[in-house]
A and B are shown apart, each in its own frame.
Chain A
Amino acid sequence: MKILVGVKRVLDYNVKARVNADKTGIELANVKMSMNPFDEIAVEEALRIKEAGNADEVIAISIGPSQSQETIRTALAMGADRGILIETDELLQPLAVAKLFQQLVEKEKPGLVILGKQAIDGDNNQTGQMLSALTGMAQATFASKVEIDGQSAKVTREVDAGLESIKITLPAILTTDLRLNEPRYAKLPNIMKAKKKPLETVPVADTGVDISSKLSVIEVNEPEQRKAGVIVSSVAELVEKLRNEAKVI
């Protein structure tokens, strides 16, 4: 079977996001961009499933500006077989992204689609669930363990109170949580090889998918900042302040 993996180009997780001057979004000029960390976990999981003999091809998909090719190349260097970029400079909502993925699912007919549970820019945590709803394929979000068994999979999910396991019929949509795996680093020879792997670019207009949205961002602001408090000199002073000043214990 084929596995589709979503890889999004986002502000590197170590870079502090700063609101731009006209308060329309985050300053993204001349800052380090990387693959969304949850998508690295998705690529790794797809590769492990393939290496275990349960898949034949891993296709890395990105939807974004032309620089997202670099993100796809990273996935190819990790071991994905080919890439597809749906190119757009617009900032798409998760519903539009899910609709574009739906079209790719109809074309590629994968056995699994693996996406990160959320992208660390918009923090929406929506695309995988939406894709499942649109395609009618089963949904297993926040996965911490995936065991493929023929035409089905057992998925352990992170829920608020602990872990839950479900059995899903393939084809299905998975979204990754932190503990699913530890993504590999691309080795230099593989980075060289990745440059020769196929990467198809499709302008978003050519897909014919309706990516319009009725949700608009009016303004983006810095959050209220907390003021730093006082440094206490001892545990005794700390406990005294918590009891008598803050009155929280």
Chain B
Amino acid sequence: MTTLVVAEHESGALRQATFNVVAAAKAIGNDITVLVAGQGAGEVAAAAGNIDGVSKVLHADDEAYAQEIAENLSALIVSIAGNFSHILFAATAAGKNVMPRVAALLNVDGISDITSVVSVDTFIRPIYAGNAMATVKSQDTTKVITVRTTSFDPANESGGSAAVETVAGAGASDLVAFIGEELSQSDRPELTSADIVVSGGRGMQNGDNFAMLDEIAAKLNAAVGASRAAVDSGFVPNEYQVGQTGKVVAPNLYIAVGISGAIQHLAGMKDSKVIVAINKDEEAPIFQVADYGLVADLFEALPELSKALDG
């Protein structure tokens, strides 16, 4: 029995999420093979072989994998799927895009966003925005899964010495063409892997006021996030969104500013180690999950906080 972990990488390096998925694979307990599909991603394949617990790396080097085109990547995975009992992806935008295709092509049910491995065929996953946890058992021959990365501590980047084998590409779809991308420019750490996240909600009133959060984030080396309400109101782009329909984060410190704490938002941050809430409404539900609550007008509290961090 072998588990296949589908690696994610960019700019010649593995994404952090891949290490979390390897950790989930270790919890399942089988031998672990990592698939690195890309164009000119030989260094990434070598790095995957160094991950603690990995026993083999499959490397597909083809123009078809230069971008994450779901059609192309799913065809490749299906072409090698017969060798694996489990196929694991990170529950990222890329993983969510591909995993269900692989499941459907193998005629098995997909299992989304697992937070815990109970046994080789039984997993726990959140439903209803994390208001309930479902224990599910799969009797499919191949278990096709996305992993909630914040639920598994990353595997060590070193300690492994797996051989890299080359696998052939499986063709490219002519129905889809990549045009381009517009990535957010930020000097801040990435939201899902930052140690500290400072998030703003509707209480921020407008996008310009997010500069106050940026200032604090810069002093804490934190990422900036937002509630769905702030995204819906057009204050910040969608990639800031933390919650059921956005990103799931679990930093050491999460500072929620002007966020009421709708269940959809809590779903994305309630596994943070320490939660701070700053809100002028003392009845706001965010205070029920906060370790430290400050009932205050954020327009007074934020400048004060910024100053205090200098001291």
Q: Are B192 and A160 in contact (CB under 8 A)?
A: yes
**Total B residues in contact with A, Cβ cutoff 8 Å:** 92
Q: Does A95 contact B (CB under 8 A)?
A: yes
Q: Which of B132, B139, B296 has the most CB of A within 10 A?
A: B132
Contacting residue for B94 out of A159, A178, A220, A239, CB 8 A: A159
The interface residues of chain A, by DSSP majority, are classed as: mixed
Q: Are A17 and B132 in contact (CB under 8 A)?
A: yes
Q: Are A248 and B97 in contact (CB under 8 A)?
A: no
Q: Does B168 contact A (CB under 8 A)?
A: no
Q: Does A207 contact B (CB under 8 A)?
A: no
Query: Given the interface contacts A123-B127, A165-B179, does A214 sit within 8 Å of B138 by beta carbon?
Result: yes
Q: Which of B134, B231, B273, B305 has the most CB of A within 10 A?
A: B134
Using Cβ atoms and an 8 Å threshold, which residues of chain B touch A213?
A: 109
In angstroms, how far is the closest chain A Cβ from the Cβ of B32? 23
Query: Given the interface contacts A17-B132, A161-B239, does A236 sit within 8 Å of B178 by beta carbon?
Result: no
Q: Are B304 and A158 in contact (CB under 8 A)?
A: no
Q: Are A166 and B177 in contact (CB under 8 A)?
A: yes
Partner-contacting stretch, out of B42-50, B54-62, B203-211, B285-293: B285-293
Using Cβ atoms and an 8 Å threshold, which residues of chain B touch A93?
A: 109
Q: Are A249 and B220 in contact (CB under 8 A)?
A: yes
Which B138-190 residues sit within 8 Å CB-CB of chain A? 138-140, 173-184, 190
Using Cβ atoms and an 8 Å threshold, which residues of chain A touch B132?
A: 17, 19, 26, 220-223
Using Cβ atoms and an 8 Å threshold, which residues of chain B touch A188?
A: none
Using Cβ atoms and an 8 Å threshold, which residues of chain A touch B245?
A: 38, 117-118, 120, 178
Q: Does A52 contact B (CB under 8 A)?
A: no
- 10 closest residue pairs by CB, A with B: A229-B291, A129-B100, A126-B100, A17-B128, A130-B104, A138-B175, A133-B101, A162-B183, A215-B109, A214-B139
Interface residues of A (CB under 8 A from B): 11, 13, 16-19, 26, 38, 93-95, 98, 117-118, 120-134, 137-142, 144, 154, 158-169, 172, 177-179, 213-223, 226, 228-232, 234-236, 238-239, 241-242, 246, 248-249
Q: Please, could you name 14 A-B residue pairs with CB atoms under 8 Å apart, sorted by A?
A: A93-B109, A121-B128, A129-B96, A166-B178, A167-B177, A168-B176, A215-B111, A215-B137, A231-B282, A231-B293, A231-B294, A234-B294, A235-B301, A241-B292
